[in-house]
Amino acid sequence: MMSDWKIRKAAAIQAEITVPGDKSISHRAVMLAALSNGPCMIRGFLPSEDCLATVGAMRALGIEIERVDETTLVVHGERGHFKAPSGDIDCGNSGTTMRLLSGILAAQPFTTRLTGDASLSKRPMRRVMEPLAKMGARIVAEGADGRPPLRIEGGKLEPLQYLSPVASAQVKSAVLLAGLFAHGKTTVTEPFQSRDHTERMLEYFLVHPKKKDLSVSIHGVQTPESRDFVVPGDISSAAFWLVAAGAHPEAKLLVKDVGLNTTRTGILAVLVRMGAHVREVISNDGAEPMGAIEITGANLRGTVIGGREIPNVIDELPVLAVAGALAQGRTVIKDAKELRVKETDRIAAIAGNLRAMGVEVVETEDGMEINGGAPLHGAVLESFGDHRIAMAFAIAGLFAEGETVITGTECVATSYPGFDKELELALKRPRTPQTPVITHLH
Ligand code: S3P
């Protein structure tokens, strides 16, 4: 069902919040647990549509998964043995489900067909098909130009030394998961460091991948050891509130129990460069570092975001573009062509929506230039069915004169159930500055 949000200008955020579990880590926890040799309890799981697509896929492959409560699962690992599903596996909107699962299915002695929604059906899959085919799987894309649905005929795999042309954690993970089933050493080398959750989780499940510069290797055939896992809060969900607070000189926000993996915290470095005051406190460095972020807002200034920093901020670029619009001076986003093949063409969607709010933007092939600092005005904006576009522009609406309407906000359920409740709280806060409710960090 289509739903819209109406947003108006809000007071500075003075709050202490938590965000739901990390999406990337939740997918991987379910998959690694399913591959392991026994039951694993996963706490802090993100119960969003994308991650539930992974749970549904694993169940369709014969894995028993108990839902203890909203965010706690027990996954019964079957040592890498799966059953042929009785029908297609629907990955919904989730690129991570389709690409990572392809790596596992490439090694199974049966054929699986993976489908997705209209957005996922437009996303490129050759990036995983090619390395997995080199390992011995037969994968056919039924859509034009390597688009889904995918028909994966799995079988015995050979190890692979793979030089990935894209800095994509999904590609790296698909090859490493396939490598778990191949006799010998599989290595993936990427052009820039992408998020390293799969490597960390393999290590946590005692598979011991070897990391050297931009390469990761694993030895197959191995069965991950079943272990319980705690998923930290998603910094990509916190990103919306970090910008809402960071761009307001009277704001102060504390985000607790959030993931602080350095392959994901690029947004903090960008906000510091733009003038916000940020403090991180790591309280737990288990499989994934986790802790608190305290941010104090400022009048932001423009910055350049590009190069090796891009994979680290890839999902935060929509809301960082909003920060750029709120900052004085020019913000340049470059080397981010990947944005064109996300849930929607995010470069076009961001530029179009910023322009509708009165911002001067020049769109480039791999990014954009934003002339920041002009007052934003309310407008009717599309989500383009993309969760991060909907949420980024909800944050823009908190700073705009007049009313902002975001249409098609139901897509937010793919990554951040409860975002609308947090947004309501932000809108309800009194407009006069309040006593900070931030507790002191030790
Ligand atoms: C993800 C990796 C990134 C990211 C996506 C989740 C992952 O995609 O944009 O939201 O969980 O591995 P790419 O690997 O395609 O860059």
Give the number of the atom of ligand 1 that is nearest the alpha carbon of residue 172: 14
Q: Which residue among 22, 117, 315, 386 is the active-site one?
A: 315
* CB of 170 closer than 6 angstroms to any ligand 1 atom: yes
Tokens 């985000």 correspond to what residue?
255
Does 24 contact ligand 1 (Cβ within 6 A)? yes
Pairing of β 89-90 and β 111-115: parallel
Pairing of strands 215-220, 184-189: antiparallel
Same fold, 4-21+232-441 and 23-230: yes
Q: Is 315 in the pocket of ligand 1 (CB under 6 A)?
A: yes
pLDDT at 437: 41
Assigned superfamily of 4-21+232-441: Enolpyruvate transferase domain (3.65.10.10)
Q: Ligand 1 center to residue 10 CA distance, Å?
A: 32
Domain ranges of the chain: 4-21+232-441, 23-230
* DSSP character string of 82-108: -PPPSS-EE-TT-HHHHHHHHHHHTTS
Q: What is the pLDDT of residue 289?
A: 97
Q: Which of 253, 225, 216 is nearest to 238 (CA)?
A: 253
Atom 11 in ligand 1: residue holding the nearest Cα: 24
What pLDDT, on the 0 to 100 scale, is given for residue 284? 81
| Pocket flag, ligand 1, residue 414 (CB < 6 Å) | no
Atom of ligand 1 nearest to the CA of 169: 14
- What ligand 1 atom has the least distance to the C-alpha of 314? 9
Two tokens, residue 346:
């995010």
108 lines ligand 1 (CB under 6 A): no
Q: What's the pLDDT score for residue 440?
A: 42
The pair of structure tokens assigned to 178 is 């396939």
**pTM of the predicted structure, to 2 decimals:** 0.96
Residues in the chain: 442
Q: Are strands 72-76 and 89-90 parallel, antiparallel or unpaired?
A: unpaired
d(Cα 65, Cα 240) in Å, to the nearest integer?
A: 31
The residue nearest atom 15 of ligand 1, judged by CA position, is: 168
Task: Find the helix packing angle between 266-273 and 317-326, rounded to 10°.
Answer: 10
C-alpha 149/C-alpha 89 separation (Å) is 10
pLDDT digits (tens, 9 = 90+) for 174-218: 999 999 999 999 999 999 999 999 999 999 999 999 999 999 999
The CB of 303 under 6 Å from ligand 1? The reply is no
**Cα–Cα dist 342/96, whole Å:** 11
Enter the tokens of residue 110: 């049966």
Query: Does the annotation mark 234 as catalytic?
Result: no
Centre of ligand 1 to C-alpha 400, Å, is 30
Q: What is the pLDDT of residue 430?
A: 65
Using the mean position of ligand 1's atoms as its centre, give its distance from the Cα of residue 82 in Å: 25
At 26 the three-state DSSP class reads: helix
Indicate whether residue 36 lines ligand 1 (CB < 6 A). no
What is the atom index within ligand 1 of the atom nearest the CA of 168? 14
Instruction: Read off the amino acid at residue 282.
Output: I
> What is the rounded (10 degree) CA torsion for 343, 166, 369, 380?
0
Number of Cβ atoms within 10 Å of the Cβ of 419: 22
Per-residue pLDDT of the chain (442 residues; tens, 9 = 90+): 789 999 999 999 999 999 999 999 999 999 999 999 999 999 999 999 999 999 999 999 999 999 999 999 999 999 999 999 999 999 999 999 999 999 999 999 999 999 999 999 999 999 999 999 999 999 999 999 999 999 999 999 999 999 999 999 999 999 999 999 999 999 999 999 999 999 999 999 999 999 999 999 999 999 999 999 999 999 999 999 999 999 999 999 999 999 999 999 999 999 999 999 999 999 987 899 999 999 999 999 999 999 999 999 999 999 999 999 999 999 999 999 999 999 999 999 999 999 999 999 999 999 999 999 999 999 999 999 999 999 999 999 999 999 999 999 999 999 999 999 999 998 887 655 444 443 344 4
Query: In CATH, which superfamily holds the domain spanning 23-230?
Result: Enolpyruvate transferase domain (3.65.10.10)
Q: Could you give the CA distance from residue 212 to residue 210 in angstroms, rounded to a whole number?
A: 7
* pLDDT at residue 158, rounded to an integer: 98
Q: Is 169 in the pocket of ligand 1 (CB under 6 A)?
A: yes
